[in-house]
Structure formats: structure tokens, C-alpha cells
Chains A and B, each alone.
Chain A
Amino acid sequence: MSGQPRLVQVRVNVLKKNDLLARDLRKRFHDAGVRVISLVSSPGAGKTAFLEQILSRLRQDFRVAALVGDLATENDAIRLARSQVPVKQIVTGTVCHLEAEMVRSAIEGWNLDQLDFLFIENVGNLVCPSSYDLGEELRLVLLSVTEGEDKPLKYPTIFNTADVAVITKLDLAEAVQFNSALSECNIQLVRPGMRVLKLSAKTGEGMAQCVDLFTSLSVRTTIAS
């Protein structure tokens, strides 16, 4: 005979496992002096093109590596590896976002002490990646000019959990009549005070400011200055 139903008060943080693992990763990255920067955006916003440029530029002065997440194919890792830095593809299968455990497993065997920067390109998705801490120090959210100025209003959570917004494909801004002021206003509505960078990976416009932002984070830069 079964007993009477009873209500049990609990308090279980559903993402606790991920949060704890991300905290461990963050400490490991910090102790090793590696700056970890993650990228989130919708599919096709230009994360990989942006990263190709960043890796090529940063690798001249720093030790850089990248992880790239996709549901399928190793295409992005092949593209990024042309920048001649260590790159590992994380194929998530049916999972629409990266989790801390995937990052931990991907960096197994890598000597973090020998890195200055690690970039993590998330799966193209503006919803689920916002819930998962990856242990990164800085989260960039990319928004391409072809996507429409109201993306921040449609996906406030991902903009709110990111640190810096990057408007990409600036070379197409005129063709699509992109309203830069409106997009910035929308970003500020969902994340007051957010820093916004505008650039084109194709023409190189605005890339230098982005590189400056990253190098200002570097442990080596801090020591040197």
C-alpha cells in the first residue's frame, strides 16, 4: 500500500552542475593566465569570419587557440585552422548550445599555461547559449547589419548576459539601410551601458579596436605596462 502524497520543499538549481563546472574552469583559466572570450550570435552573423581575422591578428604577438561548436561538420575548424593556431571543433550532435562540460573535455590535453587567449565560438543560436556559463571572462554577442535593428529586443536574454556587442558586416550597412543609432538604442534598452563595437571582417574596418580590447585584457599586456 502506498503512502499519502506529500509536498516536499526543495531548492534545486537546475543548472547547478554546469555552473559549478564553469566556476572550476574559470579558476583554471585565471590561474593559467589565459583570457577566455566566447562568441554568441544567430547562425550566419559572421562569428567565424570575425574569428578568422582576430586569430590572424592576435597570433602575431600572443599564443592563441580556439574552440568552435556546431551541430555538425568540422567546416569551421578547418576555416579557423588556416589562421595557424590550435583549433578544436566541438560537434554537439543534436545539442543547440555549448555546455561547460564540452569545453572541459575539449581542452583536455592542452597546456593552458602556454596560452594567452582562448576563443570559444558557440553554436549559432540566440536562445539556449544564454543559460550556460562556459567559464569565459568575456562574452561577445554578435549582430550583423542584415539581421535587423530589433534583434536585441527579440532576444533580450542573450544580450543581457553578454558583456560586449559587436555589430558585424558593416560593409553591407548601406545596402541594407541599417539604422545604426536604432540598433544601439535597442542594445542599451536591454543592457544599459553595454559597449558596442562596429566592424567588417571583410574590409577590416573596426577590427583594430577589437584587437585593442582583447589585448587590454591580456595578462602579459598588464605585466608589460
Chain B
Amino acid sequence: MLGIIDGVTEEAERCGAARVNSVHLRLGALSGVVKEALLFAYDLACEGTLLEGSQLIVEPSPVLIHCSRCDADRVLESPQGFCCPVCGTPSVDVLQGREIEVMAMEVTSP
């Protein structure tokens, strides 16, 4: 949580923003972070920062693996089975799904 606030504050200061209205966060299914827990704590954690009163918009990001047999990237339907949804070949080649990334923010200039 503090990583989000620190990172966004740094970017907001860099672009001369007076306040942050919203934060767009990409959250991987394998990130180990629960969306609801983030939202629950967000308002309180933002108090006294440029992000106070802002909205956290979470965009869930599914797990993407590479299937060596199909030689293709595949989206996993669930993280309970790391196999290609098309041919069933197991894969540990995770291309996406671990990320916790701020992708955008809406700011207001002074």
C-alpha cells in the first residue's frame, strides 16, 4: 500500500500536480495481493497525502503463460492449474500475472 502511495506521490510531484483524483492499478492474479483488502485500507492510507480523497481503480490482470508445445501465449482460466488451456501441457513460464503496477493517474494541476 505504501508502495502505491510513495510511487504515485513521486510521479504526481514530478508532473506538478496539486492533487491526485484517481489511481489506476494493474493487479496480477499471482501478485499475492487481494483487491478487496487494498480497497479497504486505501482511504485511510491516503490521508494527509496528495492522494487524499482519490479513487483506486483496480484492473485485474490474469496469468499469462507460454506454452512450449503450441508455441503460443495463453491466458490461464485459474491459477489452480498451470497447464495450457488448449493442449494441456504444463508450463511454469509465467509471462504476466505477478505484477502490481500503477498504470495511470488522474491529476489536477494547481
Contacts and interface: CB of A to CB of B under 8 A. Distances in A.
Interface string A1-36: 011111111111111111000000000000000000
B51 to A, nearest CB: 13
Contact of A160 (B6, B94, B104): B94
A210 interface: no
A9 B110 contact: no
B79 interface: yes
Contacts of A190: 79-82
Contacts of B81: 189-190
A18 B32 CA distance: 15
A127 B32 contact: yes
A189 B79 CA distance: 9
Contacts, number: 108
A10 B90 contact: no
Q: How large is the interface on A (under 10, 10 to 19, 20 to 34, 35 or more residues)?
A: 20 to 34
Interface stretch (A63-71, A103-111, A151-159): A151-159
Contact of A2 (B3, B4, B109): B109
Interface residues of B, number: 39
A10 B109 contact: no
Interface in B77-106: 79-83, 90-92, 94, 98-106
Nearest to B28: A157
Nearest to B90: A192
Q: Which of B18, B81, B91 has the most CB of A within 10 A?
A: B81
A88 B53 CA distance: 41
A4 B21 CA distance: 11
A188 interface: yes
A188 B4 contact: no
B108 interface: yes
A193 interface: yes
B73 to A, nearest CB: 17
A139 interface: no
Given A157-B79, A160-B30, A190-B81, A6 B107 contact: yes
20 contacts: A7-B104, A8-B17, A8-B104, A8-B105, A10-B8, A11-B101, A14-B25, A15-B3, A130-B32, A131-B33, A157-B31, A160-B30, A160-B94, A161-B30, A161-B32, A188-B90, A189-B80, A190-B82, A192-B90, A192-B92
Lowest 4 CB-CB distances: which A-B pairs, in order? Answer: A192-B90, A3-B109, A131-B32, A12-B7
Interface of B: 3-4, 6-8, 10-11, 15, 17-18, 21, 25, 30-34, 79-83, 90-92, 94, 98-110
